[in-house]
Amino acid sequence: MGDRTKHLAVGLYVLWGLLHAGLGASMVVSDLANGAPTGETAAESLLYFIAVTVLGFQAIYVALTLTRTNSPAGFWLNTVVLGVIDAAFVGYLVLPGHVDLLGGIAGPVIWLAATVCAAKALQKQRKGRLPQREAPLSTT
């Protein structure tokens, strides 16, 4: 069960990364199609999509190198970094209605499922490493 949940976590984090890297890269290309942005809002949009692309690749890298080996550092990197990003995305873009609800919650739902699977795999690993408790010595 631990290996299966670990592999599922890796797959889900890679899916999250592909979704974000793909969308981000396509938006960067679209934003730059007519040259460098001239207005502040357009420049901020371009910067946002560059960051989304980089975070997508970071999620993939961490999943394939650290989550795959059940590393606690990998767990915390993808849990905290991607979680903060998704929480801000939902709070500032989805809830106010700038992004449609169904499209907007896909990433956070994938992140949540990946994080639950990674936590379960890490928990299984820790349980396997803990030494068995010895029975207390009898005083009689």
Note the pLDDT tens digit of each residue in 40-52: 999 999 999 999 9
Q: For the stretch 118-140, what's the b/e string if a residue is b when 16 or more beta carbons lie within 10 angstroms of its beta carbon?
A: bebbbebbeeeeeeeeeeeeeee
**Residue at 95: amino acid letter:** L
Residue-level pLDDT at 28: 96
Residue-level pLDDT at 131: 45
Residue-level pLDDT at 65: 96
Radius of gyration of the chain (CA): 20
Residue-level pLDDT at 129: 61
Give the residue-averaged pLDDT of 81-103: 94
Note the pLDDT tens digit of each residue in 22-41: 999 999 999 999 899 999 99
To the nearest whole number, what is the mean pLDDT of the chain?
A: 90
Relative orientation angle of helices 2-32 and 101-129, to the nearest 10 degrees: 140
Query: How many other β-carbons are positioned within 10 Å of the β-carbon of residue 81?
Result: 14
Per-residue confidence band for 137, with pLDDT thresholds at 50, 70 and 90: low
> Is 82 a residue whose pLDDT tops 70?
yes
Three-state SS at 98? coil
What's this model's pTM, rounded to 2 decimal places? 0.85
CA 77 to chain centroid: 8
